[in-house]
Amino acid sequence: MAVKSFRIEGMTCASCVRRVEKALTAVPGVSSAVVNLATEEATVMSEGVADEVLAKALKDRGYRLVEPESLDLALEEEAASKLALFRVIAAWVFTVPLMVPMIPGVHLHVPQIAQALLSGLVVFATGRRFFENAIKQLLHGETTMDTLVAMGAGISWTFAMAETLRGAEHPPFETAAALVAFLLVGKYLEAKAKHRATNALEALLELAPPVALRLSKKGDEEIVLTQLLSRGDLVRVKPGGAIPVDGRVVAGQADVAEALLTGEPMPVPKIPGDTVIAGAVVHGGSLDIQVEGVGRDTWLAKLGKQVEQAQGSRAPVQELADRISAVFVPGILILAALTLAGWWIHTGSFALAWRPAVTVLVIACPCALGLATPVAMAASLGTAARNGLLVRDAAAMERLAAITDLVFDKTGTLTYGCPSVVEVLPMETGLSSEVLRLAAALEQHSEHPIAKGILLAAKDLKLPAVEKFKDHPGGGVEGWIHGTRLRLGHPGWLGFASPTGPAGATVVGLADDHALQGVLMLADKPRPEGLRVIQALRAKGIKLHLLSGDREEVVEGLARELGLTEAKGGCTPTAKRERIQELQKGGAIVAFVGDGVNDGPALAQADAGIALPGLEAAQVAAPLNLLREGLEPLLLAHRLARRTRTVVRQNLAWAFGYNLLLVPLAAFGLLEKVGGPMLAGAAMGLSSLTVVLNALRLRKA
């Protein structure tokens, strides 16, 4: 058995996944096929089946299989995106002249033949894919959203043409054109967002630098591509550099910042024998590292795979419109046929029977149904973008509205994610009043996270010049200021006992040659709005949790401060994901809020993953990205999600209520007395207009 992975183009929803898997497994020789909608990939296990056979099986169902050896995939995707944008622009260029005469006070007269031509170009040219897919699905006995759109637009245009031929003054050509134009915009935006959301692994791998300093047996440095390194090679990482590989330190001492990777906010001292991971940043010294994992064998790459698995492991939830269309569309076609037959038998005249039948088709034409969700989502996504929320997966907005539990990461989410000076303790000595200023002077040229925290606290102070500066990796720094030698670093390196500080705080001492002059306490400070946001979410009935890779005592302290009763520290990325799975198995709908690479699997596993501003790799793993600093935008996102759900439900209720009320009247000929198909066309347009106007309420945050 051979196992191959392919890229699948044309999938839009969970029902597409089912059809692709069904088409592939129907091919003789294919034993299994698993399709991941999030990554748009299919993994096929087969024996002796050519790729061309699989491609043909999917082409017959309206999908495209991209073979593994295709080297022009990026170019093809770019060309497809440009073509989709061209169709959107063309559709609206042709639709606007049809809609402008509807504006009060505008006296633009478009000849009916021109209206028919413009509307026909939109429906049958720019909207050609809807008809092609609907026909292919019909040949296999299936109906989907494409069937609804093709039937709605086709019947609308045909009805308008019939009205033109019988001399009607205002045939509704704009209805068919607007339906297709709106849907093309929605498809284009959905495709763009989806494409950005499928590059989690690449974004993670890019955290590791593409080049490395390889050491020869003689100790000479050589710049090489990271991917050319092998297990057992030696690499050197200098201060400020990112580690390119997973490995073990064989020489040197330095602090390694792993906050984005592990959730530990403070730099971790590394000495020979300690393990390091790709993507972490070295501060305060150089490290010589023996390579143990490169590229896809690194911790980062394995994390990326977890993200992909989580994205594809959700239980498939079929789209509402697809579920309904499976019954609704055939039902309406049967009802129209019965109406035609019944009236033909009753009157004995086909000329009298066709109008009630056409009225049934037009009145039931699912234009409002087709617009109900995409127009509401388009308005909602625009409002979200203006208010700092990027939505990569529209379905996540619906899930966010229904969440029962919300899980917070700590570092960089509820806290700032970097060391800050929380207390300065001067000693009773001559330099005590100058502790912060002198410490900042010694650190003013350092890239160490601790140094950045001290410099931020002293940003308004005038710093003196430092002479004879010297760095002591793993210990601290020293220099001469105004003729006095000062040392700044760990109390143990300075030769003094470390005073007790707040839970999780890092203690840094300042000393001269005679005594300890002062102590600075640094810790990861909580965001000031955190308590207010947590109280607001709890007031909405949402159960709140805290999961962090930081130490238990630090996490428990923050949880007490913010009033969180469900908190756990020391969590690995896998542990976070597994805890979310436990909540989901218990029936909870879970949102997760985080900002680091270590949050990637949890962001992907959650029903609504929300990434705060920070690392692009974390944002790619999440369907919802907050683009503004702080936690306040989280409240806006939840409020907008709930409003969007309400509007979509209202739109669907209107669309179906309209059909349930008028379809029986049309079937029994009761609408013939007040206009028949003409009234049906007007009512159809009014239904769509009502849905659009209701959706536009979402333009306000």
From residue 179, give the alpha-carbon distance in Å to each of 97, 353, 408, 468, 634: 15, 28, 41, 74, 33
Look at strands 275-276 and 246-251 and give their pairing.
antiparallel
From residue 644, give the alpha-carbon distance in Å to each of 53, 393, 396, 559: 43, 14, 11, 32
Return the DSSP state at 238.
-
Q: pLDDT (tens digit, 9 = 90+) per residue, 87-105?
A: 989 999 998 888 777 666 6
| Domain-wise residue ranges, the chain | 2-70, 72-194, 209-295, 324-388+640-701, 416-526
* 416-526 belongs to CATH 3.40.630.10: no
Instruction: Give the residue from 507, 14, 311, 4 showing the smallest Cα distance to 24.
Output: 4
* Predicted pLDDT of residue 319: 53
End-to-end CA distance of the chain: 54
Task: Judge contact between 603 and 595, C-beta under 8 A.
Answer: no
List 393, 409, 599, 607, catalytic entry: 409
* Predicted pLDDT of residue 90: 93
Structure tokens at 97: 């002249």
- Among all chains, which residue has been given the structure tokens 């919802």? 624
CA distance 434 to 243: 37
* Predicted pLDDT of residue 224: 87
Helix intervals (H) in 8-127? 14-25, 51-59, 73-99, 112-121
Instruction: Give the residue from 483, 448, 443, 447 showing the smallest Cα distance to 463.
Output: 443
Burial class, 22, CB count within 10 angstroms (exposed 0-12 / middle 13-18 / buried 19+): middle
Q: What's the topology of domain 2-70?
A: Alpha-Beta Plaits (3.30.70)
CA distance 143 to 219: 68
The amino acid at 467: E
Can you name the residues that pair with 665 across neighbouring β-strands? none
CA distance 303 to 200: 10
Instruction: Give the residue from 382, 409, 412 showing the smallest Cα distance to 397.
Output: 382
Q: Catalytic residue at 409?
A: yes
Find how far residue 584's CA is from the centre of its chain.
Answer: 20
User: Each residue of 612-637: b (16+ CB within 10 Å) or e?
Assistant: bbbbebbbbbbbbbbeeeebbbbebb
Can you name the residues that pair with 225 across neighbouring β-strands? 211
- Among all chains, which residue has been given the structure tokens 């974390």? 618
CA distance 242 to 400: 36
Run of H or E including 644: helix 632-667
| Other residues' Cβ atoms within 10 Å of the Cβ of residue 649 | 13
Low-confidence ranges of the chain (pLDDT < 50): 69-71, 193-194, 196-201, 310-318, 617
| Identical fold, 2-70 and 209-295 | no
Backbone angles phi, psi at 513, to 5 degrees: -75, -5
CA distance 209 to 298: 13
Radius of gyration of the chain (CA): 32
Residues 657/659/664/665 CA torsion (nearest 10 deg): 90
* Predicted pLDDT of residue 169: 77
Find how far residue 409's CA is from the centre of its chain.
Answer: 17
CA distance 420 to 505: 10
Look at strands 476-481 and 287-293 and give their pairing.
unpaired
Find how far residue 475's CA is from the centre of its chain.
Answer: 42
CA distance 491 to 504: 16
Can you name the residues that pair with 349 across neighbouring β-strands? none
Q: Can you point out the beta strands (E) in 216-267?
A: 221-225, 234-237, 246-251, 254-257
pTM of the shown model = 0.59
Task: Judge contact between 474 and 482, C-beta under 8 A.
Answer: no
- Among all chains, which residue has been given the structure tokens 């991209």? 66
Find how far residue 432's CA is from the centre of its chain.
Answer: 50
Task: Judge contact between 652 and 368, C-beta under 8 A.
Answer: no
| Other residues' Cβ atoms within 10 Å of the Cβ of residue 429 | 15
- Three-state secondary structure readout of 209-229: CCEEEEECCCCCEEEEEHHHC
CATH number of 209-295: 2.70.150.10
Instruction: Give the residue from 134, 496, 452, 155 showing the smallest Cα distance to 283.
Output: 452
Q: pLDDT (tens digit, 9 = 90+) per residue, 560-585?
A: 889 898 999 888 888 999 999 999 99
Return the DSSP state at 72.
T
Return the DSSP state at 260.
H
Look at strands 566-568 and 543-547 and give their pairing.
parallel
Helix intervals (H) in 540-631? 552-562, 573-585, 600-605, 616-621
